[in-house]
């Protein structure tokens, strides 16, 4: 039996059947494909609506408006990643559901505190923020930043909980509602003029996704708990997983900052209006990459996470089965983007967006590498390799920001030179991350083999 105050226990009889019998077999491999497909279909429907409307959006909004969207998204994503203070990353780790619920409560409490602080900071420094990012609209729309931060952070917590419960129906539904909410805000506020419809669309979409995050199925037997948490258990859970707020918080900050800080730096160097073409590229290429990475990443957290919690080995085999299709997909996407983007972008989005096609070719290698490696990197926190993740996140942050600064110094006034350097640094960083994931998985399997052979 699992003790009432055991923060990390689970009855052996309650583990999913697919995990019994040693190394995972073909039955588990078949199960791994289905959840990713369900989530991916939901993402395709939701983000597909946004992508389909992009030709209309580029004719309703100016490049400067898309630049403002990029700045607000970057700010909210960076702070939103820190707002749960790492507790969201811990949700997938404990074997007992009661401990996981307590981690969700800790994450949501942290989000609310950070939201209040972000509101005060945005109001106090709204003029400075607008000046530093080259985005004058933030003087009036300062409140959109803390609002977006809170909903982005809450979505992270909800996603972690649904992935743990393997509620892929709810995960797919929240993706559809996110796209619908985002598009409704973008088009509905377009007649007002200015960037407000785009700037608020991120918060609107994430808020709609929270509505779709309501669970639609009961958790697997091994994740089900009927015990009410005690105060002593809450303290034990916080102590047991304290490395997540102490280490994973900063790792999460650096991870997201490594993706978003380059956009803020480019805005500071060239102004948000100069980011319009780049912002469109990030939107068109980033959406499908995000859909695939999210779907496969949730599969890694849900299915391979259950395998990691069972501590029976076989993670390397599961990693290979996930890596090979991703590598093939990344290669096809890379070739297709390089060949088609320069001619397709001006036709679909208008002649003034031709620069976005050039940016797509430059960033295609980085996005292709990201779609392969990003989902697999979720294994590091599952294996409690927070230190490894933190070192890589810091290194990637230094590499990408440094690349943009060097590119700007070598070619002043030319944002594309910085984008080229940024793309190259991103490719190298993701390849290093893949090597770290493979090493950690092999060590985990070797540890299990040594324990079983002892």
In sequence order, what DSSP letters do the residues of 55-89 get, joined into one string?
Answer: HHHHHHS-HHHHHHHHHHHHHHHHHHHHTTTTHHH
User: What CA–CA distance (Å, rounded) separates 281 from 279?
Assistant: 5
- Distances in Å between the Cα of 429 and the Cα atoms of 111, 260, 396, 403 are 29, 15, 6, 12
Ranking 16-25, 351-360, 387-396 by mean pLDDT, the lowest is 16-25
Q: Is 62 exposed, middle or buried (0-12, 13-18, 19+ CB in 10 A)?
A: middle
Q: How many CA atoms lie within 13 A of 332 on its CB side?
A: 7
**Closest to 423 measured CA to CA, from 352, 334, 294:** 334
pLDDT in tens, 199-215: 999 999 999 999 877 65
More confident residue, 235 or 312: 235
pLDDT in tens, 63-93: 888 888 888 998 998 899 889 998 898 888 8
Portion of the chain with pLDDT greater than 90, in percent = 30
Report the mean per-residue pLDDT for the chain: 81
User: What CA–CA distance (Å, rounded) separates 153 from 204?
Assistant: 13
Domain boundaries, the chain: 35-448
Taking each helix axis as running N to C, give the angle between helix 63-82 and helix 196-211, from 0 to 180 degrees, rounded to the nearest 10. Answer: 40
pLDDT in tens, 51-63: 888 899 988 998 8
**Alpha carbon 136 to its chain's center:** 28
Quick one: pLDDT at residue 34? 60
Longest dimension (CA), the chain: 70
* Residues recorded for the chain: 454
Query: Given CA atoms 264, 205, 374, 242 in this order, what sign does their dihedral have?
Result: positive
User: What CA–CA distance (Å, rounded) separates 13 from 20?
Assistant: 10
Confidence of residue 235 (pLDDT cuts 50, 70, 90): confident
User: What CA–CA distance (Å, rounded) separates 51 from 425?
Assistant: 27
112 Cβ partners below 8 Å, 6+ apart? 150
User: What CA–CA distance (Å, rounded) separates 443 from 174?
Assistant: 35
Q: How many CB atoms lie within 10 A of CB 329?
A: 16
């Amino acid at each position: 039996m699992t003790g009432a105050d055991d923060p990390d226990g689970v009855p052996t009889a309650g583990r999913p059947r697919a995990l019994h019998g040693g190394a995972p077999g073909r039955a588990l491999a078949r199960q791994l494909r289905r959840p990713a497909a369900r989530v991916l279909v939901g993402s395709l429907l939701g983000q597909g609506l946004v992508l389909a409307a992009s030709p209309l959006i580029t004719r309703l909004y100016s490049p400067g408006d898309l630049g403002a969207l990029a700045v607000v998204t970057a700010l909210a994503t960076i702070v939103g990643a820190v707002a749960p203070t790492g507790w969201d990353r811990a949700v997938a780790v404990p074997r007992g559901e009661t401990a996981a619920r307590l981690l969700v409560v800790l994450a949501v409490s942290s989000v609310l505190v950070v939201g209040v602080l972000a509101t005060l900071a945005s109001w106090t420094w709204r003029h400075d923020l607008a000046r530093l990012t080259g985005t004058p609209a933030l003087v009036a729309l300062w409140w959109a930043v803390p609002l977006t931060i809170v909903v982005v952070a809450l979505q992270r917590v909800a996603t972690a909980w649904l992935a743990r419960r393997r509620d892929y129906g709810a995960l797919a539904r929240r993706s559809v509602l996110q796209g619908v909410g985002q598009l409704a805000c973008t088009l509905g506020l377009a007649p007002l003029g200015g960037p407000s419809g785009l700037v608020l669309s991120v918060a609107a979409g994430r808020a709609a996704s929270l509505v779709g995050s309501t669970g639609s199925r009961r958790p697997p037997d091994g994740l089900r708990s009927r015990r009410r948490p005690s105060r002593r258990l809450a303290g034990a859970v916080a102590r047991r997983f304290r490395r997540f707020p102490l280490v994973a918080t900063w790792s999460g900050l650096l991870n997201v900052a490594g993706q978003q800080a380059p956009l803020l730096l480019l805005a500071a160097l060239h102004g948000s209006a100069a980011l319009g073409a780049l912002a469109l590229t990030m939107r068109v290429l980033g959406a499908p990459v995000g859909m695939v990475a999210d779907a496969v990443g949730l599969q890694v957290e849900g299915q391979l996470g259950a395998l990691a919690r069972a501590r029976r080995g076989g993670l390397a085999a599961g990693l290979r089965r996930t890596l090979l299709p991703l590598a093939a997909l990344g290669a096809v996407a890379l070739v297709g983007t390089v060949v088609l983007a320069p001619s397709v972008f001006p036709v679909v989005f208008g002649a003034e967006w031709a620069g976005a096609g050039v940016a797509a070719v430059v960033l295609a290698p980085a996005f292709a590498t990201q779609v392969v490696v990003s989902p697999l990197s979720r294994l590091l926190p599952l294996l409690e390799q927070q230190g490894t993740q933190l070192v890589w996140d810091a290194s990637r942050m230094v590499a990408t920001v440094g690349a943009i600064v060097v590119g700007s110094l070598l070619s002043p006034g030319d944002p594309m030179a910085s984008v080229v350097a940024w793309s190259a640094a991103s490719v190298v960083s993701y390849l290093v991350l893949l090597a770290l994931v493979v090493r950690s998985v092999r060590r985990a399997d070797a540890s299990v083999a040594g324990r079983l052979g002892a």
